[in-house]
């Protein structure tokens, strides 16, 4: 900049060389403007390089709930920081745009001033001042551009961090849901095996019959089925509540959840002279639960009761081994599990050696592992 001003000033001492100096000044200024154009046109937005994060080993099932809570807290913190960085990026972009507009306006003014200077109608001091202002504005524009680039990089990094954290939370939720479904399936199977029953109970009844009829005729005419469904329901509920104590929180049955067959007989009966009959009826009811009943009792999705489980039996020629199904420890061989139809990854680990098989379970299956 100093050499450029010196050339302009020398033109006053050598009038014959004014045109040459002016042309040189214009060329120097044009170079400066071109440089500033190239300088300011550098993209302020750095390209986000795609990154692939390595997966981490799944946490033990016992700690999954705590891990999910920690992951969700981390995700919320990342989201808040991302929001703050997004706000900062908007602010810096606005500042950069304002600086760019100011620099562009100064360029136009300098071009007009150069034209007047070349026509020898503008003063040297005014042009020097404008060039100084433009230099400061170009530096301010570049500083704003660098701030935008920095804010953009921080935002991109935080965005990637958020995506990875969100993916981790989603994967953990999916795993927890699968584990919960498996636990519910196991509970459904256990409960379903205990619902079909034959129960015996007695009910006392009293009714009025014509005194002219015999007790035998009165008992034969009595409608035993009038209250039978309610009697079966209450006695079945009582039996299940005792048997499933500790497995089902509350046993509240609905008569639509089961069907039954019954037979009955009077075990005691008496009749007064006025025709009042008192009797005791013994019932034997064979109850068959519907598929959905176990799910209704446990309060889980009815679809779990409609799926058909298959037996997967696992054997090996080693003792003290470990069996994992879909990375979840199940115990040691020999073992047999009831599982839904689907694909399972079965691993048996013995003495540091792991054997793996993928099983498509569509029927009862036995698999053997040899070490």
Domain spans in the chain, listed from the N-terminal domain onward: 2-189, 199-298, 308-369
Task: Kindly tell me if the per-residue pLDDT of 3 is higher than 90.
Answer: no
The answer to whether the CB of 307 falls within 8 A of the CB of 341 is yes
Task: Kindly tell me if the per-residue pLDDT of 131 is higher than 90.
Answer: no
User: What's the pLDDT score for residue 265?
Assistant: 92
Q: How many CB atoms within 10 Å of residue 280? A: 14
The answer to whether the CB of 217 falls within 8 A of the CB of 267 is no
Task: Find all residues with CB under 8 Å of 245, minimum gap 6, and list them.
Answer: none
Residue 287 has φ and ψ, to the nearest 5°, of: -110, 135
Q: How confident is the model at residue 357 (pLDDT cuts 50, 70, 90)?
A: very high
Q: How confident is the model at residue 118 (pLDDT cuts 50, 70, 90)?
A: low
- Quick one: CA dihedral 90, 91, 94, 96, positive or negative? negative
- For 299-350, what is each residue's pLDDT tens digit? 998 888 877 778 899 999 988 899 999 888 888 899 888 787 889 999 999 9
Please identify which residue in the block is written with the tokens 């154009």.
Answer: 37
Q: How many CB atoms within 10 Å of residue 204? A: 9
The answer to whether the CB of 281 falls within 8 A of the CB of 205 is yes
User: What is the three-class DSSP state of 99?
Assistant: helix
Name, of 145-154, 169-178, 264-273, the range with top average pLDDT. Answer: 264-273
Residue 188 has φ and ψ, to the nearest 5°, of: -60, -45
Task: Kindly tell me if the per-residue pLDDT of 133 is higher than 80.
Answer: no
User: What's the pLDDT score for residue 58?
Assistant: 35
User: What's the pLDDT score for residue 126?
Assistant: 67
Distance between CA atoms of 122 and 137, rounded to whole angstroms? 22
User: What is the three-class DSSP state of 346?
Assistant: strand
- For 31-45, what is each residue's pLDDT tens digit? 444 344 444 333 333
User: What is the three-class DSSP state of 203?
Assistant: strand
User: What's the pLDDT score for residue 331?
Assistant: 87
User: What's the pLDDT score for residue 85?
Assistant: 85
User: What's the pLDDT score for residue 5?
Assistant: 35
Query: Which architecture characterizes domain 308-369 according to CATH?
Result: Sandwich (2.60)
The answer to whether the CB of 300 falls within 8 A of the CB of 353 is no
Question: Looking at 65-69, 225-229, 279-283, which range is the least confident one?
Answer: 65-69
Q: Residue 271 pairs with which residues in a beta bridge?
A: 277
Long-range contacts of 140-145 (CB under 8 A, 24+ apart): 140/99, 140/102, 140/103, 141/40, 141/96, 141/99, 141/100, 141/102, 141/103, 142/39, 142/40, 143/99, 144/92, 144/95, 144/96, 144/98, 144/99, 144/100, 145/40, 145/42, 145/44, 145/96
Averaged over 356-362, what is the pLDDT? 92
User: What's the pLDDT score for residue 210?
Assistant: 94
271 is written with which tokens? Answer: 């009749």
């Amino acid at each position: 900049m100093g050499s450029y001003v010196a050339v302009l000033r020398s033109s006053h001492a050598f009038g014959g060389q004014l045109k040459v100096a002016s042309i040189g000044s214009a060329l120097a200024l044009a170079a400066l403007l071109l440089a500033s154009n190239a300088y300011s046109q550098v993209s302020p937005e750095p390209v986000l390089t795609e990154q692939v994060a390595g997966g981490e080993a799944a946490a033990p099932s016992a700690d999954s709930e705590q891990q999910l809570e920690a992951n969700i807290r981390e995700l919320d913190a990342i989201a808040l920081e991302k929001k703050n960085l997004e706000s900062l990026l908007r602010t810096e972009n606005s500042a950069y745009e304002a600086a760019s507009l100011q620099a562009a306006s100064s360029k136009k003014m300098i071009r007009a001033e150069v034209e007047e200077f070349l026509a020898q109608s503008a003063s040297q001091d005014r042009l020097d001042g404008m060039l100084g202002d433009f230099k400061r504005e170009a530096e301010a524009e570049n500083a704003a551009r660098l701030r935008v680039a920095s804010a953009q990089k921080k935002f991109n990094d935080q965005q990637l961090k958020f995506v990875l954290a969100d993916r981790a939370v989603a994967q953990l939720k999916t795993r927890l849901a699968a584990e919960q479904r498996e636990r519910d399936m196991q509970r459904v199977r256990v409960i379903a095996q205990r619902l079909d029953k034959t129960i015996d109970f007695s009910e006392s009844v009293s009714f009025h019959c014509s005194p002219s009829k015999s007790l035998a005729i009165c008992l034969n005419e009595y409608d035993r089925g009038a209250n039978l469904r309610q009697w079966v329901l209450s006695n079945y509920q009582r039996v299940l509540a005792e048997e499933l104590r500790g497995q089902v929180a509350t046993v509240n049955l609905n008569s639509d959840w089961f069907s039954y067959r019954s037979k009955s007989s009077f075990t005691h009966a008496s009749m007064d002279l006025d025709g009042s009959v008192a009797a005791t009826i013994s019932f034997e009811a064979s109850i068959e639960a519907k598929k959905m009943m176990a799910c209704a009792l446990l309060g889980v999705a009815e679809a779990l009761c409609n799926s058909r489980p298959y037996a997967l039996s696992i054997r090996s020629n080693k003792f003290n081994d470990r069996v994992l199904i879909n990375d979840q420890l199940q115990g040691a061989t020999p073992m047999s599990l009831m599982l839904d139809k689907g694909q399972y990854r079965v691993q048996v680990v013995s003495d540091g050696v792991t054997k793996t098989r993928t099983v498509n379970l569509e029927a009862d299956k036995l698999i053997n592992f040899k070490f």
